[in-house]
Every structure is written in C-alpha cells, then in structure tokens.
Chain A
C-alpha cells in the first residue's frame, strides 16, 4: 500500500546498502587499525540511518528503539572503547596481512557474487520493501568473515567480528523488519558483554605476551 510513496525510500535504502558493502570492502583493504575502527563507526552510522528509514517506511515503532541502540552502541560506545584500547595497547598499526590485498579483493568479489546468487531467490519471496538488500547483508557477513581470516592482530579480528554482527543486524532489519525486541536486547547485551570480555582479554594477552600479535597465540597445536 505504501509502494507509491516508498519509491524513493527504496532507492535510498539500496544506496545505503551499497555504501555498507563499500565500507566492508574498504575494511578488507585497510591496514591501519584506527582506520578500521573509523570505518566500523561509519558502518554503524549507515546502519542507523537505514534502520530509521525502514522504521519510518514500515511504521514499526520498536525499530526506532533498535536504531537508537545501534547509534548508541555501534557508533559511539564501541568505537570509543576500541580507540581507547588500541591507544593504551599501542596497537594502532597492523601492516601485516596473511593474504595480499588484491587477492583478498578478488576473493571478496567472488563472495559477493555467491551471496547474491544465494539471496536472490529468497529475497523474491520477502514482502518487505528492503528485500533486495538481503543479499548485501549476507555479503557483508561473508566479507567480514574473510577479513577475520586474513588479519593477524587480535584487535582487527574483533573488529571483523563486530562488522559481521553489523551484517547480521542489517539482515535482520532488511529481511524481517528486525527481530522481536527481547531478542534484540539479548543480542545487544551479549555484544556488550563480549566486548567487555575482549577488553579484559586484550590486557591479559598483552601482559602475558606483551603484544597482540596472533602468532604468539599459536603454541597449542598438534605436532
């Protein structure tokens, strides 16, 4: 019923979605941890915007709450915490990758195609105005997975993890206008606790290995 007036909204949503995808690619290519955090904050912002848009267009009130939650957590709190962390740990730099950037890019591209192919038939049957973005959400998830694989520093892996969570959130909003509120809250809580624990971890790892480089964490193995 809202198709006649939601045309531009869909346009805008697709734009935001593609920005999201772009940001993930950027994350995949960045070397500096600080940049990654900035990009993560941007991702959160885009997510906030798209959520508000969906909330407005679909008239789902509780989506506003989760949008606010997003703004609070993913744009303000977490980036700030992470900034503090890397500053205290002196881990701004992350200039070693397991795979060089062009290859990563190519793999990422393949992943995006795969994700679209996967999401295409499903998004057809969705009755939300945001259905086309499901594929992008999946792509974001897979890309951040890829990023976790290719990075060597603990912090960057965590950022990848959070980015993946962003992708999930985006998927939730785009496919189903968001999960039920209780679940949203639970997810958010878990996320918060996770980051808290991560913080503890970083310091413990630092005091044990005086570095956050992952190749210290390779002693438990079979041979």
Chain B
C-alpha cells in the first residue's frame, strides 16, 4: 500500500518537472535561454488561483472532464510499475486495459471540446480522435511483441520476466522500441504530429481542444497531459529498460530508493532524447500523420514477424 501511494505521489509530483526538463533541453538545443525547471509548477499555481471563465452554455460534461482526465491519468500512474512491480492496484488493469483508460481520457476530452460548439474545438476533437485511432493499433502491436517475449500483458509480470532474464538485445524489441517512441510522440501532442507550444489554429490539435478551458480546469488538464507523458515514459521503461525497478521480493527500502534513482536517471536521459528528436524533426502536415503512424505500426509488425521467424 505504502509503495502504491508513494509511487502515485511521486508520479504526480515528477510529471510537471519532466515536462519542464524537456522544455529546458529543447531550449538549450535551440540555444535559447531556458525557462527555470519549475516553470510548470508556477503555471499550475497561477492557474489554480485564477477565476474560471466558463462558456455560457457549457454542460456538466464540460466541467467534469478535467477531473476525469486527471483521475484517469493518476489511475494509470498507479498501475504502471515505475519503481516497484509489487503494486496491489496493478492487477486492476493490464497493459491493454491501460490503453482503454487512455482512450477514455481521450474520448472525454474530445467530447468536452465539442461541447461549446466553437469551430476549433470540434476540429481539434476530430484530429485528436484520428491520431488516437491510428496510434492505438501500433501501440497494441508493441504490446504484442512484449507479450510474445514474456507471455503476459500484465506490466509487473512483464518487468519481472525481463529483469529476471539475462540481459539480451532482442531484435524484435528494437523495432518495437522505435515504434513505441513514435506512438509516444503522436499520443502526447509532440512534434512532429503536434506542437505543444503553438497557438496557430490551423495546425494545433491539443491546444484547439482546451481552447475554452481556463483556470483550475486548465490546470488540471495541463497536469493530466504532463502525467500522460510521464506515464508513457514509464510504460516505455517497463517495456524496454526495466532494469532497476524493484521486483517482487527484492523490494526493501534500499531497493526502492535505488529504483527511484534509476527512474530519475532514465527520465533525465529520455527527456533529453525526446527534446533532441523534437528539435531535429519538423512539424508534419496533419494528413501526413497517418503515414507517420502507419510507419510506426509497420515497424511493430516487423518486430513481431522477426520474432516469429527467428523464433527466439
């Protein structure tokens, strides 16, 4: 239980920091003066103190959505074994169910975006759903790879299977890893699919959806999206770099500290890597997105076939 709550709180706390770190790396890479690491926290604080300006005919759905988003992301964080595998809540949903939770969040966000009935809200919702239904199969294929290797879709068992086994670079996993990164970029509204820092209406997806939100609602949504990124990162760690996560049995206090340290290290590295990718690639036209995700899907399937052929 303690482990469980610790992990959740850690996730909630670290998520904005992770985003901030990525922003900082990007700034460095683009040789700008970086905002301080704590910038996201300040923004959240500011938003929480503002007064909500709610569109005249917003329905309940519109007001519930931020909480649903935040809640589902926290739940996901509770399920993903980021520092320890022996989580009581992790059994509630395996990786596939995790995708379901993300999908719920997406659907709610899109519905809320359509609620007010502005031109951009509904456009953003449509684009978000499109990216979603293209990204999901690819993600599932990635999970298939993992399943073939470990014989389980429950993330803790996955992690244990890997970390117990001998350290080996598996060809299928490399394919799957690249595919996963592409999906991650698409799902979290990063370049090349979407640009989190733009407000140019014709290109934006995520921003178009949250256009009507303000103050605490917006804060929750922002926090939720950073949590989403964090969660994806943790899924990636669990699938591809599970080392350091305190496995069942071997999870005393030291092991947890070690795991936390490992997590932070991984986050730092992966954040830098993400920033690198983002600054090296350019934003795609919205109708290039399908091709981008199709490539991700193909890579995952290739990994699958490689595994079945090599019969590793």
Contact present between A and B (CB < 8 A): no
